Every structure is written in C-alpha cells, then in structure tokens.
Amino acid sequence: MHTVKFLIWFCLFSIVVGAQEENPAKQFWNTLQTHCGKAYEGTLILPKEDKAFGGKKLVMHLRACNETEIKIPFYVGDDKSRTWILTYQNDRISLKHDHRHEDGKEDKINFYGGISTNIGKANVQFFPADSKTQSMIPDAATNIWWITINEGVFTYNLRRLGTERVFKIAMDLKNPITIPEAPWGWKD
C-alpha cells in the first residue's frame, strides 16, 4: 500500500516540477508555434499617419517553423520584402529582420534586430538592438522591439528610446486568412 502511495506521490510531484521547469520564453515560443502555417491580417496602431504602412493591407504568415526558428513574412500591401526571423536558443529569443528586393536579393540593410536579455514573460518578449544593429544602423542603437501574443492578438512593436519614433501593429489571431504567395526571395 505504501509503495502505491509513494508511486502516486512521485508521479504527481514529477508532473508539477516538470510544468514549473518551462520558462516564460519557452511558453512564449510554444504559443507562437501553435500558429505555424497560418496567416493573419492586422492593422497599424501607431503612428496612424505612417506613409509606408498607413492604409495598406498588413498580413503576416508564420510560414516556416522548426524547433529553434520561426520565419514570419510580413506583407505591407504589395510589398513582400520583409520577414521576421525568431530564433530560440539557450532560453533566449532573438529577432532579426530579413529585407529582400523584388528579385530576391538581400537589401544592404539586413538581418538587424536584437536578442532578449532575459526569459521575459509568457506573453511578451523584448529585443534591444544588438551590437551588429548598432554598427549597421547607428540611429537604431536605442531601438527596442517587442512582440506580444495572447489568444486573440499578436503585436509587433518598436520604440527608439530618446526619440519620438514608435511603431505598433496588431494582428488578429482569431481569424486566419488565406495563405499569401511567397515573399520576395523565397523558393517553395
């Protein structure tokens, strides 16, 4: 009888400890992974009068996912030049921006972004500009990007500290849309 009680206690303890071991960065990653293969439409929140994004159809597609990398093409109207690349490694997440020309060639300003400095929270991860970004785009040295995710909304945000530069889009995760065609530079 004691053996059975011990086994039950041991199993319950193992489940509780196992659940507690998953850190917030991993929880964030796992939530994002549930959307792999889906596309969503969104809206520009800030700045309302942005010339490059305002009034255009905004779409993200979680197009390529594996255990450590998620590639999310981001379409702005007919512009298919942007892909967010998220990488999970050592309980940290990095965000890089891949920019392509219509012929698929890399833009000269490419693969900039940042790495989370801690495990963050299950619903938000912050990415301060890394040293490569600071040397490539000196004005972006104080950039902080962050992504939030919950049951219904994914947001992509940017704040350039010490300036008025702010950017925010919100994607509606409750209503998947038709998968868009491949972004510039992708081969299916």
CA-to-CA distance for 119 and 111, rounded, in angstroms? 22
**DSSP letters along 147-176, please?**
EEE-SSEEEEEEEETTSS-EEEEEEETTS-
Quickly state the pLDDT bin for 187 (edges 50, 70, 90): confident
Q: State yes or no: pLDDT of 31 exceeds 50.
A: yes
Q: Is the peptide bond prior to 138 cis by the omega test (within 30 degrees of 0)?
A: no
pLDDT mean over 90-101: 98
Neighbours of 19 (CB within 10 A): 8
Percent of the chain with pLDDT over 70: 89
The pTM of this model reads 0.88
Quickly state the pLDDT bin for 17 (edges 50, 70, 90): very low
